[in-house]
Amino acid sequence: VTQPFFSIVTPVYNTPLDVLAATIQSVTSQAWPSWELLLIDDVSPDSAVRDALAEAASHDSRIRVILREENGGISAASNDGIAAAEGEFMVLLDHDDLLAHGALAQVAGVLQKNPEVDYLYTDEDKIDEDGKRYDEFRKPDWSPERFRAQMYCGHLSVLRLALVREVGGFDSRYDGSQDHDLVLKVTEKARQVYHLPEVLYHWRAIATSTASSGNAKPYTWDAGVRAVQAHVDRVGIDATVTKGSWFGTYAIKRTFDPSHRVSVIIPTRGTGGFVHGESRVFLIEAVRSLLAHTEHKNLEIVVVADAETPQAVLDELAEVAGETLLLVPYTKPFNYSEKCNLGFLASTGDIVVLLNDDVEVIGDNFIEELCAPLAQDNVGMTGAYLVYENGSVQHAGHRYGERGYKHAFSDNNFGDPGPFCALMVDREVSGLTAACVALRREVYQEVGGLSEQLPLNFNDVDLSLKIRSAGYWLVWLNRVQLFHYESKTRVAIVHQWEVDIMRARWGVAERDSFAHE
C-alpha cells in the first residue's frame, strides 16, 4: 500500500441519492490509490439510501459500509467509522460534499515531505444546487487564537488517526461543534499543524445546510461555547468563553492579573486638531479616554514630550493623569523610535503599552483586554482595532506581501464582519501598528525595541517581524477598540533608504501567512 493511507469517514443520514452518488464519485475518482471510504448509515428512514450504499460498495472494494442499528447522531456515527478505520490518517467528508479532483494526492505529497504533521487543513469553497462554485475561503496559516474564536479550519481536515483515538474521538456532548472540539483536542497535542493553501473541498450549500446559512443549526453555537471553554480550561488559559458578536464566533475573555504594572508610553509634541466637531489637544483626550476605560490601578503613563510641547498642554496633562504621569523630555530631532525607546528605559512596568497621542479609547477594560493575552508565554505582542473618525477601518492587523506592507481589511467599515468574520474574532497577524500595542518588558528588550534606524516609517513593521522571528505570536484583538486620528496629524512619505533597510533585513514576502489579498 502506498503511504499515506487515508480513511475517509462519512456519516450518512437520509442523503438525496444523486447528492450521495456525487459525494462517493468525488472519492472514487481520486488518482491517489491508498484510501478506504467508510460510509456509516445512521439509520436513514429512506431505505433507498442503504441500497445505494450497498450498490456503491459492490463496485469498489475500498468502499466499506457500516449500518448502525440505532440512530446515534453525528459523533456516534463518526466514532463507528474511526473504530473501523485502518488508515494512518482520517479524512472528514460530509455526506453531501465533494472532494476536489486530486485532493488526496496533494495532501499525500505534503504528508510525505512533512512526517511530523498530525493535523492538516486546506482551503475550501461552496457549491450550490446547480453545481456552481462560490465563496472561496482562502484561510490563514495555523492560527491558534483564531481557532479558539472560530472553527475556521473546517474542510478539508486530515487528522492522524492514532492521535484521534488518543483524545477519544468525537464527543457527542458537543454535537453540532463536534469537529471543532476534536480538532482543538488534536491540535493541543499535535507536533505540527499544516495549512495547505489549495481549495480541495467543495461544501454543498442546500437549503438546510450550515454552508448556506450559519443560522441553520443554532444549537451548534451553544455546543461550540462549551467546547472552547473546555479547551481553554485544559490548556490553562484563565478565561471565560461566551458567544462572539457574530454567529459561530466566540469571545475569549481572559482574566488580567491586577498585580501587573503597566507602563503606557506616549510620544507627543502636544498638537491639537478638530475631530468629531470639536477642537481638542490629542494627547489630553487620549489619556483621558484611557483612564476612563480601564479599572486597572497599577498604571504608569510615560509621556515622551518634544521641547516644543506647549506648557499649557503639559499642565493640563498633569491634572488629567495625576500621579500616574512620568514625563520624559525629548530634545533631539524627531525620531519616533528613539522616543519610544527612551520612554521604555524610563518606565518601570513589567508590561509596556505603546500608544499614539492621536487615539481615543472606545472599548471598556482597555488595559485589561489588551494585556491579558500576554500571560501566554508564546504571545509576544498584542494590538488593537483602530478606526478612523469616519468609521472606516484603519488597523486590523498588517498584511505583508509582494505589494509591500499594508493594513489588512482597510476597505471595511467599523461594525462590518469582514471576510469570514476576520474583524469579529481575535486572531494571529503578521504585524501590528505601534499606534497601540502591548508587550512584556523582556520581549521589548530582547528584540531591541523600535529600531532607531527607522525614525519615521516601518519601525512597527520591523518590530513585528523581529518579535515573530524570535518565535512569538502577534495577536490582534477585536474588542480593544480605539479611534485613530492619524490623517489629522501626519502624511506618510516613504523614502527609498527606509525600503532598503527593510528589504535587507526581511526580504520580500511572497504571501501573507494570515490575511490573503
Contacts to other proteins by CB under 8 A = 326-328, 341-342, 344-348, 441, 445-453, 462, 465-466, 469-470, 504-507
Give the residue with the Cβ less far from other proteins, 84 or 501: 501
Q: How far is the CB of 199 from other proteins (least distance, A)?
A: 26
**CA gap 246, 243 in Å, rounded:** 8
For residue 389, which amino acid is it? Answer: E
Q: How far is the CB of 184 from other proteins (least distance, A)?
A: 33
Contacts for 294 with CB less than 8 Å, ≥ 6 apart: 365, 366, 367, 368
**CA gap 264, 438 in Å, rounded:** 9
**CA gap 289, 279 in Å, rounded:** 16
Q: How far is the CB of 342 from other proteins (least distance, A)?
A: 7
Give the residue with the Cβ less far from other proteins, 412 or 451: 451
Give the residue with the Cβ less far from other proteins, 84 or 346: 346
Give the residue with the Cβ less far from other proteins, 239 or 447: 447
**CA gap 279, 197 in Å, rounded:** 49
Q: How far is the CB of 311 from other proteins (least distance, A)?
A: 18
Give the residue with the Cβ less far from other proteins, 462 or 486: 462
Q: Where does 122-247 have alpha helices with state H?
A: 144-149, 161-166, 178-189, 219-235
Give the residue with the Cβ less far from other proteins, 202 or 466: 466
Q: Which residues pair with 6 in a beta bridge?
A: 35, 89
Instruction: State how far Cα 122 lies from the chain centre.
Output: 16
H or E element at residue 464: helix 459-469
For residue 156, the SS3 value is coil
Q: How far is the CB of 448 from other proteins (least distance, A)?
A: 3
Q: How far is the CB of 327 from other proteins (least distance, A)?
A: 8
Could you give phi then psi for residue 168, rounded to 5 degrees? 95, 10
**CA gap 171, 377 in Å, rounded:** 30
Q: Which residue, among 98, 120, 92, has the nearest Cα to 24 in the 3D structure?
A: 98
Give the residue with the Cβ less far from other proteins, 245 or 453: 453
Give the residue with the Cβ less far from other proteins, 186 or 328: 328
H or E element at residue 459: helix 459-469
Give the residue with the Cβ less far from other proteins, 49 or 302: 302
Give the residue with the Cβ less far from other proteins, 125 or 512: 512
Q: How far is the CB of 467 from other proteins (least distance, A)?
A: 9
For residue 229, the SS3 value is helix
Query: C-alpha distances in angstroms, 276 versus 201, 446, 484, 487?
Result: 47, 40, 12, 14
Here the cell at position 73 is: 447522531
Q: How far is the CB of 73 from other proteins (least distance, A)?
A: 49
Q: How far is the CB of 215 from other proteins (least distance, A)?
A: 46
Instruction: Please state whether beta strands 436-440 and 351-355 pair in parallel, antiparallel, or not at all (unpaired).
Output: antiparallel
Burial degree of 252 (CB within 10 A; 0-12, 13-18, 19+): buried
Q: How far is the CB of 337 from other proteins (least distance, A)?
A: 9
Q: Which residue, among 113, 46, 122, has the nearest Cα to 91 in the 3D structure?
A: 122
